[in-house]
Amino acid sequence: MPIEDMDPRIERAVEAFNDEDFDAMMAQFANGGTYADPIEEDGISGDEIREYCADLFVAFPDLHVEVERVVADDDATAYQCTFTGTHGGPMEGIPPTERSFSVPAVTVITLTDDGITSWRDYWDQQTFAEQLGLTFPGILRLLPRMVVAKLRDLV
């Protein structure tokens, strides 16, 4: 299926995500719609999705999703994409590395007449960590900054 034939609600949600317009993105979700990825494996919904996306853009101010291929049937839509960005802000206690990443991914979305009911991203955490320098031994240089940040949180 050509990208142009993707369900308009999914297209609007992806565009809104790229534009950091999380209200417009959330407008495409059905009540109770969920989001999951390798970090949020159990899934989140409602304002948790909005907050998660906002946190992603703090950590990766230039985060972008580029959709490359779409496959759909009556039950679900899947698209192949690439996530790109630069680690320019804190991420779960990890200070910015200022390194860029480009990670291939697949997203699977289910829809009803009410909107998106399930959105699940699948991407390679190992490649992501390696590109950001968050694997051993590269991460060792970040440990002192991580400890200081954690101590500040405790005080």
pLDDT 10s digits, 117-154: 999 999 999 999 999 988 777 666 766 766 776 667 77
Which range, of 25-29, 58-62, 141-145, averages the lowest pLDDT?
A: 141-145
Q: In what order do the strands lie in the sheet with 29-36?
A: 44-45, 29-36, 115-123, 100-112, 77-86, 64-72
Q: What's the pLDDT at 146?
A: 62
Stretch 86-103: mean pLDDT:
93
pLDDT > 70 in the chain, percent: 90
Strands, E assignment, the chain = 29-36, 44-45, 64-72, 77-86, 100-112, 115-123
In the numeric block, which tokens belong to residue 51? 């907050």
Q: What's the pLDDT at 5?
A: 79
Q: What's the pLDDT at 154?
A: 74
* Nearest CA-CA partner of 65 in 107, 28, 27: 107
Stretch 53-57: mean pLDDT:
97
User: For domain 3-154, is the CATH number 3.10.450.50?
Assistant: yes
